[in-house]
Amino acid sequence: MKYLTLMRPSHWSKNLFVFAALVFGRKLLGPTEEVAVAAASAVGAFLCFSLAASAMYILNDILDSEADRLHPEKQNRPVAAGLIPVGSAIVFSFVCMLAALGGSLMLAKSFAVIIAAYIVLMTLYSFFFKKIMILDCIVIAVGFCFRAVAGAVVIGVFISPWLIICTFALCLFLAFSKRRSEIQQLGDEGKNFRITLDGYSPELLSHMLDVTSGLAVVCFLLYTMDDRTLQVFKTNNLVYTTPFVLYGVFRFSALIQKGSYTSPVGLIIHDRPFQINFVLWVAACIGIVYADRLFGTFGNIWAY
């Protein structure tokens, strides 16, 4: 059980980004065999990324064990609490890493390259980038973009550049949200836990949250109105899911800045209104993207 805790399975929710291509690549409906292969590939990509991410989490726990002992919650992590020896954690990290690389090779060589690039990037993050203000959050956001691209690569569909940019902006928003919640929780002691917190301030992070959330929403709108989106989905009606997007972003920002949750993952897992809104948005997207297959072609009946 302690090794499962070491892998941080609650954080695997971050890897749901790999399923975006399955939805927006129109692979959820079609010939049974094709749908089964695409779904199985997406699930395989999710598992591989979960293993790769866990390997990096373990590496971080090893490097941050001393600082984690100063944190009211992270002091209970297996390495920081002394439940798992550092040597055993290192071995387990390599096992997760090799399993991720081996599994990705079985799915697609290009996917294995993405997994390898992610591991290299996050290793550099653990040793260097997390100590550099702003760059620490940018690297985290790039890691999420790898997830979105991997989901498209593994099922063989095109992914819009607007979706990649939207993913980057949204995940940069999430990263700054985490820094904001850490400052809210730790106060002046935050710099003892994370070096970069000494450079951030609540006011600066609030500004960064405003900018990145706005950028994410604008990029989503540009994606919904893009010519290629119209060609692929035969409709631009995805733009009408914007209220769900705005509600999710605004609620997330409000709860994080209020200090209601200590991390974005905690909010996503436990906040019921946010979860309901997300499910409704996904359902609306699926209904619009697959409208011609589910209900027959009705085109832009709202737009024209």
pLDDT tens-digit readout, 190-249: 666 677 777 888 888 889 999 999 999 999 999 999 988 888 888 889 999 999 999 999
pLDDT at 299 over 50: no
C-alpha span between 184 and 172 (Å, rounded): 18
Q: Could you tell me the CA-to-CA distances from 62 to 51, 65, 76 in Å, in that order?
A: 17, 5, 13
Write out the residue range of the structural domain in which residue 292 sits.
Answer: 160-299
Average pLDDT of the chain, as a whole number: 86
Closest CA to 150 of 102, 118, 120: 118
**Residue after which a domain boundary falls, among 159, 191, 218:** 159
Same domain, yes or no, for 19 and 45? Answer: yes
**Residue after which a domain boundary falls, among 129, 159, 189:** 159
Is this model's pTM higher than 0.75 or not? yes
The answer to whether residues 45 and 151 touch, using CB atoms and an 8 Å cutoff, is: yes
Same domain, yes or no, for 168 and 154? Answer: no
Which residue is it, tokens 């591991």?
119
In a domain, 304, yes or no: no
Share of the chain above pLDDT 90, in %: 42
The answer to whether residues 150 and 119 touch, using CB atoms and an 8 Å cutoff, is: no
C-alpha span between 34 and 27 (Å, rounded): 8
Q: Which residues contact 218 (CB under 8 A, 6 or more apart)?
A: none
In a domain, 67, yes or no: yes
Residue 236 sits at the vertex; the CA angle it makes with 231 and 239, to the nearest 5 degrees, is 145
Same domain, yes or no, for 63 and 144? Answer: yes
